[in-house]
Amino acid sequence: MIYSFLLFCALFIFSCGGGQTTEGTVIARVDDRKLTSQNIDSIFSFFSLDNNTLPVLIEAWVDNTVLYEAAVGAGFNNDKSLIKKRDDFYRALVISSFLSSESERTIQITKEAVRSYYKANKSSFIRNEEEVSVDHYTTLIKEVGKILRREVSQGKNLSPDTSNFTRTLESIKKGRLVKELETPLFSSRDRIVGPIKAADRFHLFKIINRYKKGSQKTLSQSYDEIYQRLYKQKAFQVSELILDSLKQALNIYINPEYQ
């Protein structure tokens, strides 16, 4: 997440020429650059701001600003190859956004289309590895993890409190987790696994279902995957049609010597 944030901030500052408002309460400052209560929402618009993430994001903003100022001081903001990469990235982003908008407006994937695809390709929806579907709880606080285990064991349906824990419904394939989590999750036969510490968080799993390697996925379990497959196929077709239509409306010439 930090790498993505640093990349985002670098593009943000570079494309905006580094200008930032100085109004509002100062949260952090690097020389004359300020992160304030007024601009923080716009700078962190792609991130969920809470007591867990905010200190990390602020520290990343400081690190990124320090590095950016050093890069500017070394003249990298005027580097022609970097400017071209920025412009090429922006051009590709505009094109991609245009095609995505047109696809969303025209593409419809029906339940019948998904059902037909599943029937015709049922053999491709076989599990290659063991898999579990779980309610996955995470928290930074060990005592919260213990409380979560007790309340989940009692059958309570807990709503996420972003200041203390998160909860996500996940399907996890064997071989996709760090060893500290995978070993107990796939070796235990208990319905509740954890809390287990991995990195800086405590993880608790409520097992919903276990699936053996080689078992057949149902239509409902495969629905999202099939939908995405069909959508990508149609999106490619839409892109081709749009391009052909636009070309026909323009006067295009290519020198025969370069064809």
Give the per-residue pLDDT at 144.
Answer: 87
pLDDT at site 160:
64
Helix pair 2-16, 54-73: axis angle to 10 deg = 50
* Cis peptide, bond prior to residue 256, ω within 30 of zero: no
Q: Digits of tens for pLDDT over the chain (259 positions)?
A: 444 444 444 444 444 444 444 467 888 888 888 888 777 777 666 555 666 667 877 888 888 889 999 999 999 999 999 999 999 999 999 999 999 999 999 999 999 999 999 999 999 999 999 999 999 999 988 888 898 899 898 888 777 655 678 889 999 999 999 999 999 999 988 999 999 999 889 999 999 999 999 999 999 999 999 999 999 999 999 999 999 999 999 999 999 998 8
8-state DSSP, 126: B
**What's the CA dihedral at 227, 230, 231, 232 to 10 degrees?**
120
Where do the CATH 3.10.50 domains begin and end in the chain? 127-211
CA distances from 85 to 75, 90, 219, 248 (A): 16, 9, 43, 30
Q: Which two tokens stand for residue 127?
A: 């599990």
The confidence score (pLDDT) of residue 245 equals 95
| CATH of range 127-211; options 2.60.40, 3.40.50, 3.10.50, 3.30.9 | 3.10.50
Predicted TM-score (pTM) of this structure = 0.61
Please give the full DSSP string across 32-77, using - where no structure is assigned: TEEEETTTHHHHTTTS--STTTHHHHHHHHHHHHHHHHHHHHTTGG
Of the candidates 230, 232, 233, the one whose C-alpha atom is nearest the C-alpha of residue 114 is 230
The enclosing H or E element of 169 equals strand 166-173
The confidence score (pLDDT) of residue 48 equals 57
CB 137 within 8 A of CB 203: yes
